[in-house]
Homo-oligomer: A and B are copies of this chain.
Amino acid sequence: MPEEKKPVLFGYYRSSATWRVRLALAWKGIEYEYKPINLLKQEQKSDEFAKVNPSKKLPALILPNGNVLTQSIAIVEYIEDAHPERPFLPKDPYERALVREIVNEIGCDIHPLQNPGLLVEIAPDDADKRSEWARVHILRGFQALESKLKAAGKTEKAKYCVGDNVTMADFVLMPQFYNGRRFNVDVSELPIINSIQEHLMTLPEFKATAPENQADCPQ
């Protein structure tokens, strides 16, 4: 009997956008083949990878039928649409909006401002300045997010971004928090966000998909 074809994920262990997709796949229990693309070596800009994603960015997911998906948030939404079991979006439209609000608060207002591509443009020859820029912008974005979570009734004992379940907001928060730690963001100023990430990292899907547990993570 031929083996069932698996989706193929092109990613990088430390790409936070890739981690979002690893989380969605893990949450649904979908097995996949992982093809590392080394961002440090600019492998995403190769002609070969451009055939997968003409935008030359990670992640990309090739479905078993050959269709290619890109843009991490679109891929995560697809995984929910195509695999309704174990949902990571609530049913109620307003609650869904609250989840997507946090997804976009991070995906549109924090993540793009600390992306390696932008950092290199801002300070091509000054690694300290790049790190400081990233730290300041992640902190600023997290402060806005913390105030939103507080306004929504979340406390320093919060376990999830929205309600009492894992949602796709958590899939986006956790990788961004990891980036924040890399850039020495002071988490003592972010008690709600910190409480959520602490809880999330106790869950097997978050542990298994963490950067340090990927095949392409250096020893």
Contact = CB atoms under 8 A, between A and B. Distances in A.
Interface of A: 54-57, 63, 67, 69-75, 77-78, 81-82, 93-94, 96-98, 100-101, 103-105, 107-109, 111-113, 118, 122, 144-145, 147-148, 150-151
A101 B17 CA distance: 13
Nearest 5 Cβ contacts at the A-B interface: A74-B100, A81-B93, A112-B112, A78-B97, A54-B147
B69 A97 contact: yes
A150 B54 CA distance: 10
Contacts of A118: 113
Work out how many copies of this chain go into the complex.
Answer: 2
Nearest to A145: B55
Given A73-B104, A112-B113, 20 more contacts: A55-B145, A57-B144, A63-B94, A67-B94, A69-B97, A69-B101, A71-B105, A71-B108, A72-B104, A73-B108, A74-B101, A74-B103, A74-B104, A78-B97, A78-B100, A81-B93, A107-B107, A107-B108, A108-B108, A109-B112
Contact of A112 (B93, B100, B108): B108
Contacts of A111: 108
The SS class assigned to the A binding surface is helix
A92 B101 CA distance: 23
Nearest to A92: B81
Contacts of A105: 55, 71
A112 to B, nearest CB: 4
Nearest to A51: B151
**Residue of A75, A82, A93, A148 ringed by the most chain B CB atoms within 10 A:** A93
Contacts of A150: 54
23 contacts: A54-B144, A54-B148, A55-B105, A57-B144, A67-B94, A69-B97, A69-B101, A71-B101, A71-B104, A71-B105, A71-B108, A74-B100, A74-B101, A74-B103, A78-B93, A78-B94, A81-B93, A104-B107, A107-B107, A107-B108, A108-B112, A112-B113, A122-B122
